[in-house]
Amino acid sequence: MEKSKRSFGLLLVLVFFHGVMVMRSNGYEGEEGWGEGEGGRGKGWFMMKDWRQVIKSEGGEMRVVISPRGRIIEKPMHIGFLTMEPKTLFVPQYLDSGLLIFIRQGEATLGVICKDKFGERRLKGGDIYWIPAGSVFYLLNTGIGQRLHVICSIDPSQSLGFETFQPFYIGGGPSSVLAGFDTDTLTSAFNVSQPELQQMMMSQFRGPIVHITERAPTMWTSFLGLREEEKHKHFKKLLEMKQGSSQNKQYDSSSSWRNIVRSILDLTVEKNKGSGSSECEDSYNIYDRKHDFQNDYGWSVALDSEDYEPLKNSGVGVYLVNLTAGSMMAPHMNPTATEYGIVLAGSGEIQIVFPNGTSAMNMRVSVGDVFWIPRYFAFCQIASRTAPFEFVGFTTSAYKNRPQFLVGSNSLLRTLNLTSLAMAFGVDEVKMRRLIEAQQEAVILPTAAVAPPHQGETGFDPFDLTNGKV
Ligand SMILES: *[C@@H]1O[C@H](CO)[C@@H](O)[C@H](O)[C@H]1NC(C)=O
Ligand SMILES: *[C@@H]1O[C@H](CO)[C@@H](O)[C@H](O)[C@H]1NC(C)=O
Ligand SMILES: *[C@@H]1O[C@H](CO)[C@@H](O)[C@H](O)[C@H]1NC(C)=O
Ligand SMILES: *[C@@H]1O[C@H](CO)[C@@H](O)[C@H](O)[C@H]1NC(C)=O
């Protein structure tokens, strides 16, 4: 009795010290400010250049641009670029991270399970779809003779803490999460014979993105050929074997691995009592949407949870901007969200300013470049003189992000008291009025004089499969 008390005490002490150490290391990470990340104080700190090839398969590949880290990032976000060849399938799987996908080019069928219901969604260019962490899905490239390009935001907040994200393949023979169970467990769980099981689990794994050809029907071709109810049944069976992992949304990082393992091991079939948060929703097409802002110099669209309900669960917003050649998104700042942007077409310049009024970045960007802008930081984007500058992006808030413009006819300077403003700038009111009223356009301004003259060198295109390294 006495002895067990003492060892309990020792355990407490150990737990306490462990806790202190964890807090210290977190504290240290938190000390990292801007300019201290990799690359030091280089002007390109707001460019996301650190990427990994996370999937390389016969039918395509996926690259992930890693989120910056540090004190001023309130919500890290990786950006994924998925390329699939014609007639390929991204096998059924679930991830430890939430995905907001944007179809950049091509057509696809997305199979998803939400609230125990199986559904297929046909997706085309401009479509947005939210796949919660732990939710099973597959993606089939249905575009005839066309590559499928998908850009996605990857939210690691529920992840197991690996560098990018962790997929759990349901299909894929020996790589399936089912393959680790012993044969007897599986034959009785599936109620099939050993040869039947073997055929399913021992088929050769050719990577997570596989070709589907009529010539050589694979297990997936036959699966995809099933009627919807059969697919549902089949899928449900698989889902039952991983019950729990999609319900336990709030992983605490230390026990999440155990939870996942336990939930996979837990073969008891428990009804999935979803709270409605993962019901299958339709996709939303951002190209079809009316522009939120438009003038002669460009347009912009921003999607929040009022427009597309699932964004509420994702905690992510989406925006799309198209500037005509030589135009500028006026200097502004986001009071509520960090913005991650990906250049889709053309080239331009991104200028970001530190809180102390010095330039933080002034960078030429082109197709495939990924940049980020911390909330509160003032910034602007300028299209080059030669072509329209198009970029898509994700914001870390699903609620209406009201950008505050510092210049232009809707500028916040115009709403302030002119007398006080003139005093603050140290000029008289006439000069002050002239300064804030000279620009008659708002949001997107014509600025050919400062626009970078030419395309410049092309950046790294994450969709370009021939481009192996940075
Ligand atoms: C297993 O399959 C056999 C037929 O192959 C069927 O008679 C039996 O009811 C099934 N058992 C379960 C538990 O589904
Ligand atoms: C952006 O604008 C240009 C013309 O200014 C147009 O050619 C292009 O298709 C637009 N992009 C999108 C996605 O609408
Ligand atoms: C402004 O802040 C940045 C980032 O903290 C720093 O690197 C820079 O030296 C500062 N500049 C001045 C003039 O204080
Ligand atoms: C602006 O501030 C001045 C000086 O404080 C004051 O006299 C004036 O009434 C203010 N104007 C408005 C529109 O509030």
CA distance 41 to 75: 22
| Nearest-10 Cα torsion for 180, 184, 188, 192 | 90
The finding on whether 305 has its CB within 6 A of some atom of ligand 2 is no
Tokens of 312: 């509420």
The phi-psi region of residue 276 (left if phi > 0; otherwise alpha if psi is between -120 and 50; otherwise beta) is: left
As given in the structure block, the two tokens for residue 379 are 């910034």
What are the pLDDT digits (tens) for 121-148?
999 999 999 999 988 899 999 999 999 9
What pLDDT is recorded for position 256? 34
Residue nearest to atom 6 of ligand 2 (CA): 388
Residue ranges, CATH 2.60.120.10, the chain: 50-287, 289-408
CA-to-CA distance for 344 and 328, rounded, in angstroms?
A: 16
**Regarding predicted confidence, which is higher, 106 or 176?**
106
* Interior angle at CA 435, CA 433 and CA 436, nearest 5: 70
Is the pLDDT at 3 greater than 70, yes or no? Answer: no
How far apart CA 12 and CA 6 sit, in angstroms, is 10
Ligand nearest to the CA of 42: 3
CA of 357 to the centre of ligand 3 (A): 8
Higher pLDDT, 126 or 464: 126
Q: Report the residue among 356, 361, 377 best suited for mutation to probe ligand 3: largest number of ligand atoms under 8 A from its CB.
A: 356
Residues 6+ apart with CB under 8 A from 351: 331, 359, 361, 362, 363, 379, 380, 381, 382
Give the confidence band of 202 by pLDDT, cuts at 50, 70, 90. Answer: confident
Between the CA of 411 and the centroid of ligand 4 the distance, in Å, is 19
Distance (Å) from CA 447 to ligand 3 centroid? 28
Instruction: For residue 105, name the pLDDT band (cuts at 50, 70, 90).
Output: very high
Pairwise CA distance, residues 345 & 391, whole Å: 7
How far apart are alpha carbons 158 and 139 in whole angstroms? Answer: 22
- Centroid of ligand 4 to alpha carbon of 431 (angstroms): 17
Q: For residues 200 and 171, is the Cβ–Cβ distance under 8 A?
A: no
Q: What is the DSSP letter of 156?
A: G
Higher local confidence (pLDDT), 377 or 17: 377
Report whether CATH 2.60.120.10 matches the domain 50-287.
yes
**Residues listed for the chain:** 470
Ligand 2 center to 322 CA (angstroms) = 6
The mean-pLDDT minimum among 34-38, 191-195, 269-273, 293-297 falls in 269-273
* Phi, psi angles (nearest 5°) of residue 234: -60, -45
Q: Which atom of ligand 2 is nearest to the CA of 126?
A: 13
Q: Which of 107-121, 146-160, 364-378, 416-430 has the lowest mean pLDDT?
A: 107-121
- CA-closest residue to ligand 4 atom 11: 417
CATH classification number, 289-408, choose in 2.60.120.10, 3.40.50.300, 3.40.50.11540, 3.10.20.30: 2.60.120.10
Distance (Å) from CA 388 to ligand 2 centroid: 7
Instruction: State the chain's mean pLDDT as an integer.
Output: 79
Q: Is the pLDDT higher at 19 or at 118?
A: 118
Does the CB atom of residue 388 touch ligand 2 within 6 A?
yes
Which pTM does this prediction carry?
A: 0.78
